[in-house]
Amino acid sequence: MQLTGTLSLQRIGMALALVLLAALVVVPLFFIFLSSVQGSQGLDLAAPLRTVAGSGLGEVYVNSLWIGLCTVAGTTLLALPLAWVMANTGLSRHRWLDIVLLVPFMTPPYIGSMGWILFMQRNGYMEQLLPAAAAWTPHFFSVFGMVAIMSLHLFPFLYLILRGSLVRIGGSKEEAAALHGGSFAYRFRRIVVPLLLSSYAMGALLIFVKTIAEFGTPATFGRKIGFYVLTSEIHKYISSWPIDFGKATSLASVLLGTCLLLWYVQAWVTQRHSYQLVGGKGARRSIYRLSGWKAAIAWAYVGGLLVLSIGVPYFSIIAASLMKLRGQGLAWSNLTLSNYVQLLAPGSKSMQALTNSLTLSLAAATLAVVLGTFLALMIHRAKTWPQRLTDLFSMLPNTVPGIVIVLGLIIVWNAPWMPIPLYNTYGMVVLTYVVFFLPYTVQYVKASFTQLDPALFQAGQVFGGKPSYVLRRILLPLIVPGMLAGWMMTFTISIRELVASLLILPPSMETSATYIFAQFEQGKVQLGMAMAVVSVGLTTAMLLAVNYLSSKKDWDV
Amino acid sequence: MYQVNKRNGLKKGALVLLTAMIGFSLAGCGSAAKPAANQAAEPKQEAPKQEVKKDEEKKLSGKLVVYSAGPKELAEAIQKGYEAKTGVKVEMFQGTTGKILSRMEAEKANPVVDVVVLASLPAAQGLKKSGMTLEYKEAKNADKLIPEWSDKDGHFFGYSSSALGIAYNTKLVQTPPKEWADLAKEEWKGKINIPDPAQSGSALDFVTGYLSGKGDSGWDLLEQYKKNGVAMAGANQEALDPVITGAKSVVAAAVDYMTYQAKAKGEPVDLLYPASGTVISPRPAAIVKTSKNVDNAKAFIDYLLSDEAQKMVADTYLLPGRKDVKAKDRPGAEQIPQMKVDWAWMDANGDAVTKKFAQLFK
């Protein structure tokens, strides 16, 4: 009796999940597809293919894939050693590093790229500090530089996934192997790699997708070096005259197809290499003690990473925000705080933009966590195909370039038949952010959820726990870290969200990101950079607070 | 828990069908709800409008949605001035000409914009041609406008304008290039930016204007530019910025008012107009035909052409649209050498030129 009750509840939940996702994600994308095949003379299913087969686009496609692959390699190179060090050595005590490492990820890509450009360009800060650098700084303006910028922006993302996974692998399995005579290399190869593979596949896929769906860096840095990718082409067709939605949506469907294929590969890898790592038994951590020089190397690595991912861009950002005249360059006499005074003046446009950003992000993050957790629980282990469908749909926003989703949402919510007047309101922005960042919560919660041993719930049931009790006392406490991570992620990225905001904000409403963008467009780079400093500073402070509160409750697995 | 799930695989399949059905019925509800909603909404909106017209002729109220190309301070100053004068609340979206046009395209099904302020004349001609603008012949002060910058039928008004020149960094450049052809010289190799005509309305006006005068041979110069490493660099400010910081030395086809603004601030930049002539790019404003606030929109156009707003235009170092308002601290329209251009050709060929330009400078 009780079992059927649970079942029908689950069915309703499943149906609700699918309906919600259909309305929020699938229908808008379907309309995009529809507009890409709707030629002037009725339906033309081959239109997207013909567009992409058209001249020059093949190269752009290869460029996208290439930059994606290189960035996956780059982030792996940066994140894997760091994750290992932070999971297994004495450095793991320094949890502040986790927060600091979120800073590069919270830095909007277009601002980070701008920082690098200001630093490396001719007569830039690097040459002003060290004139001899002029011999090699031009080499930075190449695909290598672009990959470096993107990797330094995205590696914390992979790092967090890998470290979480390494921590869950725990020391006991490695110890068992060591006891049986396994060397470090053997243990790494036979224990760590296989157990890490599913998390890595997921992380690498997300990095790849984020890279080929990114538009900030290609739009700033890529254009400077003449390197064009799918997103910059799509953006061009959408945002500059003459507009060609058909072409943009055709390119987007190619991008979507690629991402779906990769997603399929990733799901296959995950399915074959997924293990329950969190059991009912308490896990014990064993920590490597690093001897003097090893510790020095580890610290040097961490330090170097911090200098490159935070030091350089933020030197540029802060220096630019403090300048009186940009043409004067670095000089003590050229420094001023007046940009901040202007920025933070009460009632100014900039303060309104900042408040807008904060409230929008709070609303979006909270909604996204509620919805995302619900979806993740519905997806469960993605065994049945409604579950897999839910999984697929909830991941779609991460596999489609943001700009395409935004257009889909505009087409749907601004359609004449739409009865809900959400378009051109505050709510539309929140909705867009939620759709955009839903995959984060789903991913994080799913990651903590799939590694829970079903025995935990069975134990709860055996001892007479009702489903609600099991949910409250066993499930929720164990997935709260995932929810929290999802909330923080959504909050920090939606506060810097640019693409959607540019297209969907009601007229006369600004967020900090669109404000910054507008300042760049208006040539007030100083004000834009000052805003960047303030908004990133605010989010970092908030993260620190959340981290402090959560560490008190000892939620970390 | 999931053993149970496995056994119920079939039922789950049925569940999806059910979901799909719900989806369809929801969609059905949506379309069914439409006429009802419209009927309910329309009379409500129209009733007060008629009352206003009958009772008080001139009193304005409500709101106005404006999509405006920069410069930002000017747009904001005009917004403030108009709001103070009429009591109408302005909702403003700011972006480049390209962004505004694309936003209008995205909102085609359900337009909200009342007035567009663009930075390119052919763009406005295009809007007029596709029947998206509203005629407003009675605009106050329209007779004082420079006639070539506006539509003679009153569909759009060139309330201001900018000219394209050669901007350069005064710290890096002692003897600036004097002519468009000079920029193809070896000494400027890799040191020049050109704005992207796909993003900047005025840059497009320059390129199409130049080509309309020179014919196909005009492409020779652009090809030489490309060979000389001229970099296409986003909209106008993005092209000018690296020159201010010294990363590049020169902007070809720089929008003059931006350079003058930076110069007034003390940045090391200056600008000159080649003696062989350049293009003056008018910045037109138009009322959108689908406007739901026509009276407010007309008042906005009147305000744009008023003494007050024209002075604001001059203060931003733009060329005022009215013959009787003087430019401020910069050469006036009559002092700028102009080349012969064909606006009709520019309107007709804008798309093709943009495409070819993008291919060339990629």
**Complex ipTM value:** 0.71
B260 CB neighbours in chain A (<8 A) are none
User: Tokens in use for B108?
Assistant: 């085609």
Lowest mean pLDDT among A245-249, A299-303, B234-238: A245-249
Structure confidence by residue, pLDDT tens digits, B187-210: 999 999 999 888 888 899 999 999
- Asked if B12 lies within 8 A of A22 by C-beta distance, the reply is no
Please, are residues A234 and A248 in contact by the beta-carbon 8 Å criterion? yes
Residues 57 through 96 of chain B touching chain A, CB cutoff 8 Å:
65-67, 70-73, 76, 90-96
Q: Pick from B93, B106, B172: which is nearest to A507 by CB?
A: B93
pLDDT of B1 > 50? The answer is no
Q: Using a CB–CB cutoff of 8 Å, tell me whether A158 touches chain B.
A: no
What pLDDT sits at residue B226? 94
pLDDT of B7 > 50? The answer is no
Among chain A residues, CA nearest to B351? A242
Confidence of residue A458 (pLDDT cuts 50, 70, 90): confident
Ordered DSSP codes for A248-265: HHHHHHHHHHHHHHHHHH
> In terms of C-beta density within 10 A (0-12 exposed, 13-18 middle, 19 or more buried), how is residue A212 classed?
buried
Choose, out of A20, A241, A424, A458, the residue to mutate when testing the contact with B (most B CBs < 10 Å). A241
Among chain B residues, CA nearest to A127? B247
What pLDDT sits at residue B284? 95
- Asked if A223 lies within 8 A of B234 by C-beta distance, the reply is yes
Q: Using a CB–CB cutoff of 8 Å, tell me whether B42 touches chain A.
A: no
Region of residue B234 (phi > 0: left; psi between -120 and 50: alpha; otherwise: beta) = left
B8 CB neighbours in chain A (<8 A) are 7, 384
What pLDDT sits at residue B31? 37
Lowest mean pLDDT among A337-351, A511-525, B273-287: A511-525
Mean pLDDT, to the nearest integer, of A280-302?
Answer: 75
What pLDDT sits at residue A45? 66
Confidence of residue A485 (pLDDT cuts 50, 70, 90): confident
Mean pLDDT, to the nearest integer, of A473-494?
Answer: 84
CA–CA min distance A91, chain B (Å) = 40
Please, are residues B281 and B316 in contact by the beta-carbon 8 Å criterion? no
Choose, out of A521, A525, A527, A529, the residue to mutate when testing the contact with B (most B CBs < 10 Å). A521
Structure confidence by residue, pLDDT tens digits, A251-265: 777 777 777 788 788
Task: Kindly report each contact of residues B263-268 with a partner whose C-beta sits within 8 Å and lies 24 or more positions away, as own/partner.
Answer: B264/B317, B264/B329, B265/A325, B266/A324, B266/A325, B266/A327, B267/A325, B267/A326, B267/A327, B268/A325, B268/A327, B268/A328, B268/B169, B268/B170, B268/B171, B268/B244
What pLDDT sits at residue B170? 95
Peptide bond before B282: cis, by omega within 30 degrees of 0? no
Peptide bond before B177: cis, by omega within 30 degrees of 0? no
Query: What's the pTM?
Result: 0.78
User: Tokens in use for A255?
Assistant: 């991008």
Q: Pick from B232, B244, B248: which is nearest to A326 by CB?
A: B244
pLDDT of B14 > 60? The answer is no
Comparing CA positions, the residue from A103, A119, A201, A120 lying closest to residue A154 is A103
DSSP bridge partners of B169:
B269
Parallel, antiparallel or unpaired: strands B192-194 and B250-255:
parallel
Please, what is the Cα angle at B356 between B352 and B357, to 5 degrees? 115
The number of angstroms, rounded, from the C-alpha of A465 to the middle of its chain's C-alpha atoms is: 37
Among chain A residues, CA nearest to B204? A241
B70 CB neighbours in chain A (<8 A) are 521-522
What pLDDT sits at residue A514? 86
